Structure 1
Amino acid sequence: MIRQTLLLMVVAYMFGACHTPGPPNVLFIAVDDLRTELGVYGNPIVQSPHLDRLATEGRLFTHHYVQVPTCGASRHALLTGKYPTQQKHLSNDITAETLAKAPENTLPETFIHHFKRNGYYTVGIGKISHSADGQVYGYEEAPSGKRELPYSWDELLFDPGKWATGWNAFFAYADDENRQSRKRQVKPYEQADVTDEGYPDGLTAQLAVAKLKELKQKEQPFFLGVGFFKPHLPFTAPKKYWDMYERESIPLSPNPNIPETVHPLSLHGSGELNGYYLTDEKAGLKETVSEEYARKLRHAYFACISYVDAQIGKVLDELKKQGLDENTIVVVWGDHGWHLGDQMVWGKHTLFERALKSSLIVKVPGMLQTGVPAEGLVETIDIYPTLLELCGLKASIPLDGKSFVAQLNSPESDGKVAAYGFFRKGISMRTERYRLTKYFRKEEPLWELYDHQTDPDETKNIAREKPELVKKLMPLWEKGNTGIYQRKN
C-alpha cells in the first residue's frame, strides 16, 4: 500500500538507513483554467500526451471539484484546506488580504509552510497562489517585493522575460506587449510562429528544469510548486500547437443554451472574454456567438492545453532524468473548470459542473493499479491532508479536507458523499448522481437540481418537478452550508 511504503521510507530515513531514498519529494503543478479536457479524460480531439502518460503512471481523478470557481479563491482553499466561510473568501485577493498581512505564528499559513517547518526545502515558480509571480501588486504596478505567502517559500522564483513583470507576462502576447500595455485593445487569442520560450510558460518550464538539477544536489526533501498560466485567457500559444488541430473537426458545446427553468443570474455575460476589446464577437446570454467563432475559441483553448502539456512534459522528463521520479509525489491540479460556450457562457464563475469540475492527476512512488482512474468524489481541500499523510506528517490545524490516500491505494475505494462549491450568492452540492444548488437571492428559482445520470450536460433544472428529491437531498446540502451568506463580513 502507498501509505505503508512511504511511512517505511520515512522511518528508515529517520533512523539513518542510507540505502533508502528518504522522505518523498513533492512536485506540485498548478494549471490555470484547466477543465477535464484531456485525452485521458476521454476527449478524442485534444492532444495532451504528457499528461495522458502521467495519468497512466499514476491516478486520474474523474470527479474532482474545486470549492470556488475563480483563481485566487480556489487556490486559497487549496492552500488552507478549508471551505470558504465568509464572502471575502470568494475574492481573488483573499490571500493577499489575509495571509500576506498576517504575522508568522505557531499555525502554518499554508500546507507548504507546514512542509517547510518539517524539513522540506520549498520552492515556488510561477502562479501557485493568486499572483502570477507570488508578489502582491496590481496588474499595472511595478512588483512590490512583498510576498503573497510570506513564510511558505525558501525560494520564490519567476522569469518574466521581455514582459518585465509577472502580471505583464500573465497577459502576454508574443511581442513584448500585454493586455494592460495595449489598453485591452487586443484579441483573446494569438498564434505566433515562435518557440515555446516565446510565451511565458516556456520560460517557467525552463526555470523548473534548471531548479530540479539544483534540488537533486540538496540533502533534504523538497516541495517544488510550478504554476503554469495556460489555458487561461488570452489563449496565446505557439503556432505549432494550433497546427495540431483541424478546426472543422472540433465539436461545439453539447449544451450551448441556458438551461430550462434557470434565472440568468445563475450565469453571466462572459465579461472576462469580452474584456478583450478586439474579440471577433461579443458573447452574452441573449445571443450565442456564431459556430465559426465558437470553434475558433475552442481551437485556441485546445492549442493552449497542448502547449502547457508540452511544458509539463519537459518538467516531468527532467524529474526522471535526474532520477528523482522514484521518490517524488507528482500532483497536477487545475484550479477550476471553464465554460467553452456551455450554457451560453465563456468563462468560469458559475456553480455549474463545467466551472467546478477540474483536472486532477496524482502519481505516488510505489503506487499499485497505476492507470486505473478513481471515480469517487474528491475536493480541492482534500489535497492538503492527502499530501501530509503521504509524507508522514500530521496536520497542526483543523482541516475541512479529508485525505484521499485510500483512492490512491485502491481506485475502487469510495470517495466523498458530496463535494461543495461556493459562488454567485449560492452553494452547490455535487453527489455521485445529482447537483443541488441553492441561491441566496430574491430572484427565483432559488433551487436548481440536475440529474447527471440522465442529464450530464445540465440542460434542465428539475427542482420544481422533483420537490421530494430536493427535500431528501437538503440535509446533505446543509452540511456544506458554512453560513457564508448568513453572516456579515
Structure 2
Amino acid sequence: MNSKKIFSLFLPLAIACSVQAQQRPNVLFICVDDLRPDLGCYGNPEVHSPNIDAFAEKAVVFRKQYVTVPTCGASRISMLTGRYPRTKAALSNDAAEKLLANLPRNGKPETFIENMRRNGYYTVGIGKISHSADGYVYPYTASRSNQLELPNSWDEMLMDPGKWKTGWNAFFAYADGSNRQSRKGNVKPYEAGQGEDDAYPDGLTATLAVQKLKELSAKGQPFFLGVGFFKPHLPFNAPKKYWDMYDESKLSLTPSPDIPENVNAASLHPSAEFASYKAGDERASLKDPVSDAYARKLRHAYYAAVSYMDAQVGKVLEALKQNGLDENTIVIIWGDHGWQLGDDRVWGKHTLFEWSLRSAFLVRTPGMEKGFICDRVISSADIYPTLMQLCNLSSPVKTDGNSFAGLLASPDDATWRDVAYSYFRQGVSMRTPRYRLTKYFREAQPAVELYDHETDPFENKNIAATQPALIAELMKTWEKGNTGLFSK
C-alpha cells in the first residue's frame, strides 16, 4: 500500500482525534500555600478576599475538603498522585525528590499532570506546584539545579524569581531583596513592605501567568496550567496596602486557645517553623501562649498575606476571561493544607486536627452558571480521579481517591462515601460528616482521640474514653484507610 493511501486512511482518525483534543476542557489549577478556609466565601467576614469570593459565586465551595498530609510537599504529592502515603518518605516535604525525581519514565504516569500530557495536553507549571518553590531539586541556599521534581509532567516549568535570584530565596522573600536564609533567620515572621504587588514574588508569578495564558490561547491545544502562589505561607509578608485593609484591634482571636482536653502534647507540636523567625516579638510554645496583642498582630499579618494572594488570583482569573478561555476551562483553587493561628496553642500545621487538615477548595467547571456550597466530606486524593473524569481521560493507575464529579451536579448523591483519611505524627486520622477519629501508633497516651463535630466543632475535648462502642463501630471504616504505614 502506497504512502498516499495510508495517509488517506488515517487522515479521518487524525482529524477526529484533533477535534476531540480541542473540545477537551483546559485546566487552570491554582495552588495556594498554607491557605486555611479563612475567606469571605467560607463565612469569615473579617477577611478581604473579593476576587476568590466573586469566583465562588459561580463555583462549588467545598467546606469539608481534607488533605492527606498536613505538610506542603507530602500533601501535594499525595494530591498529584491520588495516593495515600505508604512509606515514611511519602510524609516528608521532599517526597517528590525521593519518590519521583529520579525515576525513569515508564508505563505509569508519575502524576495526573503527566497523564494529561500523555493524552495531548500542553502542561505548564508556574511557581510552587509540587514542593520546590520553582519545581527544581536543590537545597534552600544553593543555586538552582536543572533537575525537575516532576521530570515527566511538564512541557514548561517556569518562575520569575526577580531580585531574589532563585525560587527558594523568593519563597522566603523580604521586600528589600533579602530572604530568611541570607539573614540567617534573624527576621520577623511578617512584613508590611513598600511598593506594589511585584514587591514580593507572588506579584511576579501572577504577571507570568497572565502572559502565559495569552500564549496558550493562541496555541490551539488543550492545556493544564498550574499556578502556585506562596502566600500566606510564612513569612506573612505583603505590600502595606493590604495591611491597611484591616483594623488590627478589631480582629477576633481563635475560639480554641487552649490545648484540647484529654489530649497528649505529642499530638501537637511546639511551632518549630514559626520559631525559626528569630526576630519575632514573642516566642510561641505549648506551655505559654503568646499575648492577645501579638496574636492579633500575627492574624493581621496572615490576613494581609491572604488579601495580597487574592489580588494575584484575581489577575489570573481576569486574564483567563480576557483571552476567551473561561468558557472551556476547569478552574480549581486549592490550599495545600490549613494553618493553626494559635489554635490549640499551635502556630503552624503538622497536626492531625481539623485546623491543619481542612483547607480551601473551590471548583468551577465549564457551563457552571451558579455556584453552591457543598458540605460533603472529600479528600485531596479524590482530585486526581475527578479531573480525569471531567477531562474524559482514562488513567493506567489505580488511585486511593474517588471521583466526586457527580457532586458538582448533585451534592445530595447518596452513593458518595463521605470519608477522608490523613496521616502524620505516627497517626492516622479519619473524618466523617460528624466525627474525627484519630489513632496514634505511639507509647504516649491517650493514643486514640475522638471528636464529635456536632457538639464540639473546634475539637476541644477528646471523648474517646467514654465512647468505646462508637469507636469500635467507627474503626471498621478507619481500617479502610490504614495503609500500614505506622504499624509495620
Q: Show the counterpart of 2:332.
A: 331
Secondary structure of 1:151's match?
coil
**Are the equivalent residues in 2 in contact too, given 1:64–1:359 (CA < 8 A)?**
yes
Does residue 434 (structure 1) correspond to residue 466 (structure 2)? The answer is: no
Amino acid at match of 1:373: I
Q: Show the counterpart of 2:293.
A: 292
Q: Show the counterpart of 1:344.
A: 345
Q: Show the counterpart of 1:420.
A: 421
Does residue 14 (structure 1) correspond to residue 24 (structure 2)? The answer is: no
Q: Deviations over 1:123-156 (max 9, x none)?
A: 0000000000000000001111110011100011
Amino acid at match of 1:405: A
| Structure 2 residues not aligned, in runs of 5+ | 1-12
Secondary structure of 1:109's match?
coil
**Are the equivalent residues in 2 in contact too, given 1:190–1:237 (CA < 8 A)?**
yes
Structure 2: distance between partners of 1:55 and 1:416: 24
Secondary structure of 1:226's match?
strand
Secondary structure of 2:134's match?
coil
Q: Show the counterpart of 1:78.
A: 79
**Are the equivalent residues in 1 in contact too, given 2:338–2:356 (CA < 8 A)?**
yes
Deviation at 1:107, TM superposition (A): 0.7
Structure 1: distance between partners of 2:195 and 2:381: 38
**Are the equivalent residues in 2 in contact too, given 1:367–1:408 (CA < 8 A)?**
no
Q: Show the counterpart of 2:67.
A: 66
| Structure 1 residues not aligned, in runs of 5+ | 1-10
Q: Deviations over 1:440-460 (max 9, x none)?
A: 000100100000000001110
Deviation at 1:411, TM superposition (A): 2.7
Structure 2: distance between partners of 1:413 and 1:31: 29
Most deviating of 413-422 and 224-233:
413-422
Deviation at 1:16, TM superposition (A): 6.8
Q: Show the counterpart of 1:259.
A: 260
Structure 2: distance between partners of 1:172 and 1:394: 40
Q: Deviations over 1:439-487 (max 9, x none)?
A: 0000100100000000001110000011111111111111110000122
Secondary structure of 2:27's match?
strand
Q: Show the counterpart of 2:312.
A: 311
Secondary structure of 2:407's match?
helix
Q: Show the counterpart of 1:227.
A: 228
Q: Show the counterpart of 1:144.
A: 145
Deviation at 1:15, TM superposition (A): 6.8
Structure 2: distance between partners of 1:212 and 1:74: 27
**Are the equivalent residues in 2 in contact too, given 1:28–1:224 (CA < 8 A)?**
yes
**Are the equivalent residues in 2 in contact too, given 1:372–1:411 (CA < 8 A)?**
no
Q: Show the counterpart of 1:354.
A: 355
Q: Show the counterpart of 2:405.
A: 405
Structure 1: distance between partners of 2:111 and 2:98: 15
Give the 5 Å matches for 1:46-195.
46-195=47-196
**Are the equivalent residues in 2 in contact too, given 1:193–1:239 (CA < 8 A)?**
yes
Q: Deviations over 1:47-66 (max 9, x none)?
A: 11111111111111010000
Structure 2: distance between partners of 1:452 and 1:219: 48
**Are the equivalent residues in 2 in contact too, given 1:38–1:52 (CA < 8 A)?**
yes
**Are the equivalent residues in 2 in contact too, given 1:376–1:413 (CA < 8 A)?**
no
Structure 1: distance between partners of 2:120 and 2:18: 15
* Overall identity of the aligned pairs, in %: 60
Q: Show the counterpart of 2:477.
A: 476
Deviation at 1:176, TM superposition (A): 0.9
Q: Show the counterpart of 1:3.
A: none
Q: 1:201 to 1:15 in 2, by over 3 A?
A: closer
Q: Show the counterpart of 1:388.
A: 388
Structure 1: distance between partners of 2:22 and 2:479: 45
Amino acid at match of 1:58: A
Structure 1: distance between partners of 2:134 and 2:150: 11
Structure 2: distance between partners of 1:312 and 1:59: 17
Structure 2: distance between partners of 1:380 and 1:277: 33
**Size of the alignment, in residue pairs?**
475
Q: Show the counterpart of 2:379.
A: 379
Q: Deviations over 1:270-326 (max 9, x none)?
A: 011110000110001000000000000001000110000000000000000011000
Deviation at 1:17, TM superposition (A): 6.3
Structure 1: distance between partners of 2:483 and 2:418: 17
Q: Deviations over 1:381-436 (max 9, x none)?
A: 11101111001101111111100101111233354331100000000000000000
Secondary structure of 2:481's match?
coil
Q: Deviations over 1:54-86 (max 9, x none)?
A: 111111101000000000000010111000111
Q: Show the counterpart of 2:364.
A: 363
Structure 1: distance between partners of 2:446 and 2:408: 39
Q: Show the counterpart of 1:4.
A: none
**Are the equivalent residues in 2 in contact too, given 1:281–1:289 (CA < 8 A)?**
yes
Runs of 4+ aligned structure 1 residues displaced above 3 Å come to 13-18
